Amino acid sequence: MTTFALISGAGTDTWYWGPLQAALRERGHRAVAAEMPVEDDAAGFGDYADAVVADVRAAGAADDDLVVVAHSFGGFTAPLVADRVPVRRIVMLTAMVPVPGEAPAQWWEATGQDAAMRAQDEEQGIDPDDEIARYLHDVPADAAATALEHGRGQSSTPYDAVWPGKAWPDVPTSYLLCRDDRLFPAAFVRSMVADRLGLVPDEINGGHHVMLSRPGELADRLVAFAALGGS
């Protein structure tokens, strides 16, 4: 059995992971959705990583075969978790990839994300002020409405601070790109991942919150990543 530690993106809670957790349990695995201190202005990335480790330990999974799955902004936390506990694989799920010396607030311009997103918005006629159109366009309407209710106020503290990591950890890493993501366009992600991780990302259909739109398919992909072992 593999334990998947699920790290949320900015301003969301563990509800977003519910369908995926159920799908992973059906496949014989454990999934721990970490409760992140997103509203705490005193919390930095060290506290975020500590929260993940604490929830894994509270679930009795500290000694399990651990795969860390980081969504979106959670990409800044995943490598710090791997510095704290043994991790067999990191899976970056349409996630931001940090580099030493850079604050998350600088990431958008440094990677070219903003320009790529604006170009895609214009090409596809996406309203930049429509949260559902941006993040939840492929999620069933009732789930999309509920998702908006589970938004949380994201503190700016970790955004404005330089990422504390010294290097990417020596842990096998996979990246799963979402082809229909309207926040991180696919072509942008391919370039960013090649530049920052030296990887060719795997790909899945779906938008930014693929854990809500395609939980079964995503679970299958995560189980397949876990089966890769430490290679």
What rounded mean pLDDT belongs to the chain?
A: 93
Bridge-based pairing state of the strands 202-204 and 30-33: unpaired
Across the range 162-175, mean pLDDT stands at 97
Token pair belonging to 229: 């072992």
Rounded-to-integer distance, Cα 22 and Cα 19, Å: 5
Residue 215: which pLDDT band, with cuts at 50, 70 and 90?
A: very high
Find, among 159, 3, 17, 167, the residue nearest to 85 by Cα. Answer: 3
Q: What residue spans of the chain are helical by DSSP H?
A: 18-26, 45-58, 78-82, 104-111, 113-124, 131-135, 141-149, 157-160, 186-197, 210-213, 215-227
Residue 164: which pLDDT band, with cuts at 50, 70 and 90?
A: very high
Across the range 147-153, mean pLDDT stands at 79
Domain count, the chain: 1
What percentage of the chain exceeds 90 in pLDDT?
83
CATH of the domain at 42: 3.40.50.1820
DSSP 134: H
Residue 211: which pLDDT band, with cuts at 50, 70 and 90?
A: very high
Residue 104: which pLDDT band, with cuts at 50, 70 and 90?
A: very high
Find, among 135, 131, 72, the residue nearest to 104 by Cα. Answer: 72
Across the range 81-106, mean pLDDT stands at 96
Residue 63: which pLDDT band, with cuts at 50, 70 and 90?
A: low
Structural domain for 53, as ranges: 2-227
CB–CB of 67/174 below 8 Å?
A: no
CB–CB of 68/78 below 8 Å?
A: yes
Q: Which long-range contacts (CB under 8 A, 24 or more apart) does 20-27 make?
A: 20/211, 20/215, 20/218, 20/219, 20/222, 22/215, 23/215, 23/216, 23/218, 23/219, 24/219, 24/222, 24/223, 26/219, 27/219, 27/220, 27/223
For residue 93, list its beta bridge partners: 71, 176
Residue 153: which pLDDT band, with cuts at 50, 70 and 90?
A: low
Where do we find the tokens 């530049």? 195
Residue 122: which pLDDT band, with cuts at 50, 70 and 90?
A: very high
> Rounded to two decimals, what is the model's pTM?
0.94
Per-range mean pLDDT, top range of 26-40, 48-62, 65-79, 146-160? 65-79
Q: What local confidence, expressed as pLDDT, does residue 62 receive?
A: 65
Give the model confidence (pLDDT) of 1-14 as tens digits. 899 999 998 878 89
Number of DSSP helices (H) and strands (E) in the chain, helices first: 11, 6
Q: What are phi and psi of 93, to 5 degrees?
A: -100, 105
